[in-house]
Amino acid sequence: MLDAYEKAGGKPDVLRASRVASAVISASDVLAVNEIEGVTIKTQQQEHGVRARIVVAPGTKVEHPVHLCFGMTASEGLQQIDSQFDIGEGAEVGFLAHCTFPNAVELKHVMDAQIRVGPGATMRYREAHYHGSQGGIEVLPTTHAQVEEGGRLEIEFNLTEGRVGRMAIEFEADVAARGVAELVSKAYGSGDDDIRVNEVVRLNGEGARGLTKTRVAVRDRARSEITTTAEGNAPQARGHMDCTEIVRGRAEARNVPIVVVRDDRARVTHEAAIGSVGKKELETLMARGLDEEEAVDIIIRGMLRD
């Protein structure tokens, strides 16, 4: 499990450090939990996974990111993680989550996360996946986030190592006055991988801001469909959706941006670029001696880099 965690970019030593809050969950077993002052992590085993509640006390500034390690080393089965994150008023905390499924052949990973970012609080959550080369995995994360007044939520989801398999991200955020929600999703699909991302950011309070940034590359016969919705529902709400998808071979990419504005003082924008790698970018790298495939790979890796 820890080997796979390391391959996903995690540092096993950190999980043993007493000053770092952490939890390690393999299938439905909680292998380790470390709480620190101001951060409580309560877990409960369930039939096919674990229920976890993570609370950061109001005003707590967590120095080191909380490390979370989820995964399964088995080749088949179901892991269901139901999680609640409650970030108290004025608290600041980062999370580094690594999800590892190195041997997946017929495996399903379902996550259901409820997030509350309290008034003036900040939560940064980065999740990196490491899958094996088989592609026999379904990743189905669903998140609902409530960002309260002046709160800030940043989420980055990265699935660029190993095969994606089938992934469907569902994300919803409701943002109160002067709150911020930023969501970055990156994935690299190959073979017959199927990537679906559906993000909805509702900017409900005055001066609320939201950003969705999606970077997806698909090759072979892989498919991606990115649907992003930003709603400007209050004065001075500002939303932006930014999607880039690179398509190679017989792959297919779709982007559906939905802009909803319910207040004439709000503003929501979107930009999308879908298709092959730009000719000029390609030729610039080829003029350094790279062949076309190498150049494309460098461009895609750069775009998907953390």
Q: Which residues bind another protein (CB under 8 A)?
A: 215, 244, 278-281, 283-292, 298-299, 301-305
Cβ proximity of 91 and 129 under 8 Å: no
Helix axes 279-286, 292-304, angle to 10 degrees: 120
Instruction: Please name the amino acid found at residue 150.
Output: G
- In the bound state with another protein, the residue whose beta carbon lies nearer, of 16 and 305, is 305
In the complex, minimum distance from the CB of residue 283 to another protein, in angstroms, rounded to a whole number: 5
In the complex, minimum distance from the CB of residue 22 to another protein, in angstroms, rounded to a whole number: 28
In the complex, minimum distance from the CB of residue 280 to another protein, in angstroms, rounded to a whole number: 5
> For residue 18, how many other CB atoms are within 10 A of its CB?
8
Beta partners for residue 188, in sequence order: 217
Per-residue CA distances from 229 to 57, 75, 142, 192, 201 (Å): 32, 35, 16, 26, 6
- In the bound state with another protein, the residue whose beta carbon lies nearer, of 146 and 255, is 255
Cβ proximity of 180 and 148 under 8 Å: no
**Gap between the Cα atoms of 269 and 283, Å rounded:** 31
Beta partners for residue 53, in sequence order: 42, 84
In the complex, minimum distance from the CB of residue 279 to another protein, in angstroms, rounded to a whole number: 6
- In the bound state with another protein, the residue whose beta carbon lies nearer, of 101 and 157, is 157
In the complex, minimum distance from the CB of residue 305 to another protein, in angstroms, rounded to a whole number: 4
- In the bound state with another protein, the residue whose beta carbon lies nearer, of 116 and 215, is 215
Burial per residue of 235-267, b for 16 or more beta-carbon CB atoms within 10 angstroms, e otherwise = ebbbbbbbbbbbbbeebebebebeeebebeebe
In the complex, minimum distance from the CB of residue 224 to another protein, in angstroms, rounded to a whole number: 17
- In the bound state with another protein, the residue whose beta carbon lies nearer, of 5 and 157, is 157
Provide the edge-to-edge strand list for the sheet that holds 92-101: 29-34, 22-26, 66-71, 92-101, 122-131, 152-161, 180-189, 209-218, 238-247, 267-275
Instruction: Please name the amino acid found at residue 193.
Output: D
**Gap between the Cα atoms of 26 and 297, Å rounded:** 33
- In the bound state with another protein, the residue whose beta carbon lies nearer, of 50 and 299, is 299
Instruction: Please name the amino acid found at residue 299.
Output: I
- In the bound state with another protein, the residue whose beta carbon lies nearer, of 57 and 211, is 211
In the complex, minimum distance from the CB of residue 287 to another protein, in angstroms, rounded to a whole number: 5
In the complex, minimum distance from the CB of residue 301 to another protein, in angstroms, rounded to a whole number: 8
- In the bound state with another protein, the residue whose beta carbon lies nearer, of 2 and 216, is 216
